[in-house]
Amino acid sequence: MDLRSFIDQLRDIGELKHVEGADWDLEIGTITELMDERNGPGLLFDRIKGYPAGYRVAASLIATPRRMAVAFGLPSDTTNAELVRTLKDRFKDLKQVPPVYVKEGPVLENVREGKDVDLLQFPAPKWHEGDGGRYLGTGHMVVLKDPDEGWVNVATYRVQLHDSNTLGLFIVGGNQGNQIRKKYWAQGKSCPVAMAFGAHPLVWIPAFMAFPWGTPEYAITGGLMGQPLPVIAGEYTGLPVPAHAEIAIEGDCPPPEVESRPEGPFGEWPGYYGSGVRNEAVVKVKRVMYRNNPIINGSPPLKPPATGNARYLLRAANVWHELERLGIPGVKCVWNMRAGGSRYWTVVSIEQKYAGHAMQSGMAATSGIEGANHSRFVVVVDDDIDATNYEDVLWAMATRCDPASSIQVINGCWSTPLDPTIPPERRAKGDITNSRAIFLAVRPYHWRKDFPKVNRASDELRSRTIQKWRHLFDDHTKAR
């Protein structure tokens, strides 16, 4: 269960393209962007300019529903709605399996310490044209341990390559990793940090999902894999890193007043340079471990609808799970539109059960741990609408949503410094909040039976017609 086994799976089903000779300086990033916009295959870059053969960069490995399905062991032709439902059920019924500590693993094939550490030996890309530098960490895990409670947090925060032994570590204020490192800083101590670059998607995916405080992500991975994740305790920090990781580092993150450096700008998931350049904390790297012929897993944020990874699927599954946990009945599907950068557009399809059901669903969808995380628009539709089809959703908004009465706005919600709509004066005051809009694109409950009928052939008639006239329809053309 390592990154290489997943790459082999993608290669076997024709979902991987090898690229040789690209430059780490913008070419890798631009090729990734262009391929992602076209829903192309995952990429594996080798013979990168200025680096020996075998020092590779992978990109967009889980950027499509098809590749995400493969990562979770599902058939590659699983439909979008089936995929989200399956992911929702996986996490809903998940039994955590703690990791197992081992003494050996492929990540220890090469070890450098102290003055021998040289992070510049790895072909970290400059992903976007306006970026302030090279980023080693986009599809990776940052490992921190709470000094009071003792649990291990594994998350994805952007990591800039400053020099041979210094990394920048940008963490948005409300995230758990920032709360953990502040505990060390409050005591005047540096925060021990480990990072892993390059792992199987089931190891990495929990790191960029939202879980309650104290949830051990490695145990989530174990539950998804059905077996404990083998980890190695780093000799410098004692923090666990996956034994099959491609690259891992250990170091210290000193308080910002002791050392910080300008970080960014970096093109982020909303499709903008939202955070500019500011002094951020650094990690002084003391130890590096890596496999022979290491692979950096790249997952650069891209201007939507390109995504870099299909996080929108996992967000939809998590929001659906939250709705069920809150007891919202009649939920048929939850979907996040790629055009919203995985977070800004959430669609909830329901079978209306009572007056107020649609508004309750919309409010709940933007209130849970996942749903409240930097959201903007929630669209509630009836169960005859395909939530995964943006044209169907826009049709419902155009014909069932009355602007004067069916759109509700909520202010003062949890946002992010990456939000491009927050004015400079509010940023300066630390007011990192936004508003949310809930669109009720449903038939009004109290007169829904009188709402005009849809002029679409019934599913039974459509199926019967396709069977009789199959020769008219190409195999790749499927009725919605």
pLDDT tens figures, 348-376: 999 999 999 999 999 999 998 888 878 89
Q: Is the confidence at residue 163, as pLDDT, over 70?
A: yes
Distance CA 120, CA 98 (A): 34
- As a whole number, the mean pLDDT across the chain is 94
| pLDDT band for position 474 (cuts 50, 70, 90) | low
Pair 112, 120: CB distance under 8 Å: no
175: exposed, middle or buried (Cβ count in 10 Å: 0-12, 13-18, 19+): middle
Q: Is the confidence at residue 476, as pLDDT, over 60?
A: no
Q: Is the confidence at residue 419, as pLDDT, over 60?
A: yes
What's the N-to-C CA distance of the chain in angstroms? 36
Q: Is the confidence at residue 406, as pLDDT, over 90?
A: yes
pLDDT digits (tens, 9 = 90+) for 164-182: 999 999 998 789 999 999 9
CA 174 from centroid of its chain's CA atoms: 17
87-91, 179-183, 296-300, 414-418: the lowest-pLDDT one: 414-418
Same topology, domains 98-294 and 311-461? Answer is no
Q: Is the confidence at residue 101, as pLDDT, over 70?
A: yes
Q: Is the confidence at residue 23, as pLDDT, over 70?
A: yes
Q: Is the confidence at residue 109, as pLDDT, over 90?
A: yes
| pLDDT band for position 391 (cuts 50, 70, 90) | very high
Q: What is the pLDDT of residue 343?
A: 82
Q: What is the pLDDT of residue 276?
A: 83
The CATH class for the domain spanning 311-461 reads alpha beta
Domain spans in the chain, listed from the N-terminal domain onward:
98-294, 311-461
pLDDT digits (tens, 9 = 90+) for 242-264: 999 999 999 999 999 999 999 99
Pair 29, 125: CB distance under 8 Å: yes
Q: Is the confidence at residue 480, as pLDDT, over 60?
A: no
Distance CA 340, CA 266 (A): 18
Pair 272, 167: CB distance under 8 Å: no
In the numeric block, which tokens belong to residue 374?
């930097």
pLDDT digits (tens, 9 = 90+) for 295-346: 999 999 998 888 878 888 999 999 999 999 999 999 999 999 888 777 889 9
Pair 202, 61: CB distance under 8 Å: no
| Residues of the chain above pLDDT 90, percent | 81
Q: In CATH, what number does 98-294 get? A: 2.30.110.10
Find residue 261's DSSP bridge partners.
280
DSSP string, 148-187: TT-PEEEE--EEEEEETTEEEEE--TTSHHHHHHHHHHHT
